[in-house]
């Protein structure tokens, strides 16, 4: 029977999903957590397993060398930079991922972050429960400026499935949609207007990031690009933390150049206690949960099981080590 090990299954399934479909494929050992850094424990837990299922536990050359039985590494996510894919390919180890599962949840969360900036619902709820409304001299109050989105321009960087989904929601809110993408397409043109990156920076009242992380766009939101933006621009990032220069964004928030930011991702995760954004003005930070609704995680489970079945049947799909 094929031996399968899940090294960090808790974030995918904290108990509200079932592993039964995976268990039907072999002898399965599931660990809630293993490590987010290279450690001997990773190889120890893999042992002689043929299939390794991971979320954020890294699989390095050293680990693969210690575990010669590995034939398949299945990532419970879209991103696979935690695996040394070049060496995996040399070793004949297939790496598969889940390329499309969170379009609805991630775009919905991005808009939720924007709406929280516009209305500060969480703050005002706490204020009411603290007695501030009951003791108010006026029949209503608000502690932050409230923002109406209709007529404002949203600039979406990365206009693939998620970006276009967000664009449709923004359009329904009455926003003007402009977008930058290296691969413009007709589906996108039905939703918004493709513009250059510099034009997007100059025109957008709200800038959201939905692009893949590459060597070229790492740190793309920095003091130089921020200088091109409107004063008081709103920044939303629930793509990859490395897309922004965190100190430059912190400085821009504190100066008011960026009016507010809402971030579901940071450069190093979990966030470090000394991250400058934690002390920035008007900055909402959530713990990388855009992807995490149950419906979205169920799709990850289903696609991962299908990936493993396809590999076992000799017709692998979603392979990133071609």
Active-site annotation holder among 120, 210, 240, 299:
240
Residue 94 has φ and ψ, to the nearest 5°, of -80, 140
CA separation for the pair 13, 25 (Å, rounded): 18
Nearest of 230, 272, 225 to residue 249 by alpha carbon: 225
Is 45 in contact with 32 (CB distance < 8 Å)? no
Q: Is 120 a catalytic residue?
A: no
Active-site annotation holder among 45, 120, 288, 297:
288
Q: Is 288 a catalytic residue?
A: yes
Q: How many helical (H) and strand (E) elements, i.e. helices and strands, does the chain have?
A: 12, 12
Nearest of 214, 216, 208, 212 to residue 192 by alpha carbon: 208
Q: Is 91 a catalytic residue?
A: no
User: Facing residues of 209 across strands?
Assistant: 157, 237
Q: What is the DSSP annotation of 41-108?
A: HHHHHHTT-SEEEESS--B-HHHHHH-TT--EEEESSS--TTB-HHHHHHHT-EEE---SS-HHHHHH
Q: Give the contacts of 89 (CB within 8 A, at least 6 positions apart).
A: 321
Q: CA–CA distance from 1 to each of 24, 92, 248, 312 (Å)?
A: 10, 21, 53, 12
Active-site positions?
240, 269, 288
């Amino acid at each position: 029977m094929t031996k399968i090990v899940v090294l960090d299954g808790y974030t995918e399934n904290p108990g509200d999903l079932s592993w039964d479909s995976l268990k039907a494929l072999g002898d399965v050992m599931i660990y809630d957590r293993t490590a987010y850094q290279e450690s001997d424990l990773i190889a120890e837990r893999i042992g002689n397993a043929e299939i390794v299922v991971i979320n954020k536990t890294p699989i390095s050359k050293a680990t693969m060398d210690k575990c010669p039985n590995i034939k398949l590494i299945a990532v419970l996510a879209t991103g696979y930079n935690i695996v040394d894919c070049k060496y995996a390919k040399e070793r004949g180890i297939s790496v598969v991922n889940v390329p499309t599962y969170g379009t609805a949840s991630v775009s919905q969360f991005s808009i939720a972050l924007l709406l929280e900036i516009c209305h500060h619902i969480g703050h005002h709820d706490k204020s009411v429960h603290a007695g501030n409304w009951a003791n108010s001299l006026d029949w209503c109050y608000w502690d932050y400026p409230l923002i109406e989105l209709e007529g404002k321009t949203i600039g979406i960087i990365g206009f693939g499935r998620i970006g276009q989904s967000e664009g449709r929601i923004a359009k329904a809110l009455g926003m003007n949609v402009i977008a930058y993408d290296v691969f413009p397409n007709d589906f996108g043109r039905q939703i918004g207007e493709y513009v250059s990156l510099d034009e997007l920076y100059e025109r957008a009242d709200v800038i959201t990031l939905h692009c893949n992380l590459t060597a070229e766009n790492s740190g793309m939101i920095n003091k130089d690009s921020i200088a091109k933006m409107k004063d008081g621009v709103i920044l939303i990032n629930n793509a990859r933390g490395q897309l922004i220069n965190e100190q430059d964004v912190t400085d821009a928030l504190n100066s008011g150049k960026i009016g507010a930011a809402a971030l579901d991702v940071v450069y190093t995760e979990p966030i470090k206690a000394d991250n400058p954004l934690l002390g920035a003005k008007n900055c909402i930070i959530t713990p990388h949960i855009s992807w995490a609704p149950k419906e979205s995680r169920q799709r990850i489970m289903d696609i991962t099981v299908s990936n493993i079945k396809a590999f076992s049947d000799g017709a692998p799909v979603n392979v990133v080590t071609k």
